[in-house]
Amino acid sequence: MRERGLQAASIEKRASRAETGPEASLAALVDAIRACRICRDAPRGKPLPHEPRPVIHVSRTARICLCGQAPGTRVHASGISFTDPSGDRLRAWMGVTWDEFYDVSRVAITPMGFCFPGLDAHGGDLPPRRECADSWRGKLFEALPQFEIIVLIGYHAQRWHLGNRALGDMTATVRNWQAYVQADIGPMLLPLPHPSWRNSGWLKRHPWFEAEVLPFLRGAVRRALDAEDGSGHTKDFA
């Protein structure tokens, strides 16, 4: 127990250093996130049963932020977000090319859990580990720029970013999308279901999503991608 407590203290100290001081750049924070092993070494509940591999793609110039759940098996293997059928569907929903999607100077990807959480008894992905958001998410969004649009993929992201404005479940929250995008509070927040092919039945039962939400999503994404950056910034990867 004492060893675990020391490990947790070391992780928290690293997070604190990334949070404060003039040297606390976005790159330093991302380095700290990628070095994090809290879900294995000082977990809340059962430790992660495999080697952690945090996956995150951010920059200081991105106008769009995609907030998903956590990496799956293929992303855990590749180290690149959405390199799976869910990513193919998400890119089609957004109306973007592969190159546009992975241009980190324009699109940031910050899952609720940075590491693959493992599989449940039915072969589905477990929920994102709670340690990730609790340890890093607030610090990360303080360091990131003011996005124009934040896409909230799945109910875990919706609950964190919308807070008490999220409704009782994912369907109700996504159905209420116009209230969120019209809110005059910070960046545009647009909730989506997860693009997993397991949700194909949900899409068939809720045709309003493809008829109403997707055209809006594609338009908002295209406007953000095509907007000129008058700040003179060049690509700044992290």
DSSP 171-203: HHHHHTHHHHHT--SSSEEEEE----GGGHHHH
Q: Does 20 score more than 80 pLDDT?
A: no
- Whole-angstrom distance, CA of residue 226 vs CA of residue 149: 13
pLDDT of residue 118: 86
Q: Is the pLDDT of residue 128 over 90?
A: yes
Give a yes or no: residue 145 inside a domain.
yes
pLDDT at 11 over 50: no
**17 domain-assigned:** no
Q: How sure is the predictor about 186, in pLDDT bands with cuts at 50, 70 and 90? A: confident
The model carries a pTM of 0.85
Q: How many domains, the chain?
A: 1
Range of the domain at 161: 55-226
List the CATH number of the domain containing 95: 3.40.470.10
In a domain, 106, yes or no: yes
Would you say residue 137 lies in a domain? yes
User: Using an 8 Å Cβ cutoff, are 101 and 107 in contact?
Assistant: yes
Answer whether residue 183 is part of any domain: yes
Within a domain: residue 153? Answer: yes
Q: Does residue 102 contact residue 80 with C-beta atoms inside 8 Å?
A: yes
Tell me what the mean pLDDT of segment 42-53 comes to. Answer: 91
* Residue 13 placed within a domain: no
As a whole number, mean pLDDT of residues 22-46 equals: 86
28 within a domain of the structure (yes/no): no
pLDDT of residue 228: 56
What is the model's pLDDT at position 100? 97
Return d(Cα 104, Cα 160) in angstroms, integer: 23
Mean pLDDT of 27-49: 93
